[in-house]
Amino acid sequence: MIRFKKWALIDANTIATLDKYPVEKRPSRWDGQTKAVKKFKDEVLKQGLAIQEQKCAWCTLNVGTLGRRTAHRDHIAPKAKYPQWTFFAKNLIIACEYCNGFAVKGEINTVSKVEDVYENCIFHVVHPYLDDPSDHLEFLGDSPLSVTIRSRTPKGLWTIDKLQLDTAGATMERAKDRLLEMYMNDLSPAQKGLLKSASDSLGK
């Protein structure tokens, strides 16, 4: 995990429109096509990818054009259980399809104590905005090839366990991503062409 000190800034008009939706209806409005919903989702994705430098908040793998995984908007507190934060930018993070997917995070309850004010909630999960992940988790080895994750606290352990951050697959993918970043500038034109054609085919 990586710490993010910023989240998507949404304009006041959009927020005012979304705040008028009845709380219990918000999760179903998420997939709607209204201007405010589209604007909110577009900004969360666009700003989130820039803030997170195209990395999944949980497993740190590249998403988007550089990665083999696609970028998803992930509700940190799941919207089905916490509809009040469906359109709350601080509750959204960019995650890869694997971490965000049903088999891993899905609708898992990440909140241990709910409060009216989001920031006052107690979370089971290491929160990418409210916590400093390095207090709870560490990557072993020298940067940039520190890809093996270990917990430092019970919260870190919960996060690694539930989000399956320490599987051989996730660790191997992190190693591949880091190696690619290290050697990107040394690749021949033919090798760069191969990567470009591979990334161009993403999402097709």
Number of C-beta neighbours around residue 193 at 10 A: 11
Under rule CB under 5 A, how many of the chain's residues touch Zn ion?
Answer: 5
Binding mask 50-89 for Zn ion (x = CB under 5 A): ------x-xx------------------------------
Number of C-beta neighbours around residue 197 at 10 A: 9
Encoded tokens for 14: 């959009």
Shortest Å distance, C-beta 167 to Zn ion: 11
Q: Any contact of residue 104 with Zn ion (CB under 5 A)?
A: no
Helix, coil or strand: residue 111: strand
Query: 49 or 114: whose CB is closer to Zn ion?
Result: 49
Residue span binding Zn ion (CB under 5 A) among the ranges 30-38, 45-53, 94-102, 105-113? 94-102
Q: Which one of 8, 44, 94, 99 is in contact with Zn ion (CB under 5 A)?
A: 99
Query: 89 or 170: whose CB is closer to Zn ion?
Result: 170
Degrees to nearest 5, angle at CA 202 with 79 and 76: 15
Query: 83 or 133: whose CB is closer to Zn ion?
Result: 133
Shortest Å distance, C-beta 2 to Zn ion: 11
Residue ranges in the chain assigned as alpha helix (H)? 12-19, 26-29, 35-51, 97-100, 133-136, 154-162, 168-183, 189-200
Shortest Å distance, C-beta 91 to Zn ion: 17
Question: What distance in Å separates the CA atoms of residue 161 and residue 120, rounded to the nearest whole number?
Answer: 24
Residue type, 100: N
Residues that bind Zn ion (CB under 5 A): 56, 58-59, 96, 99
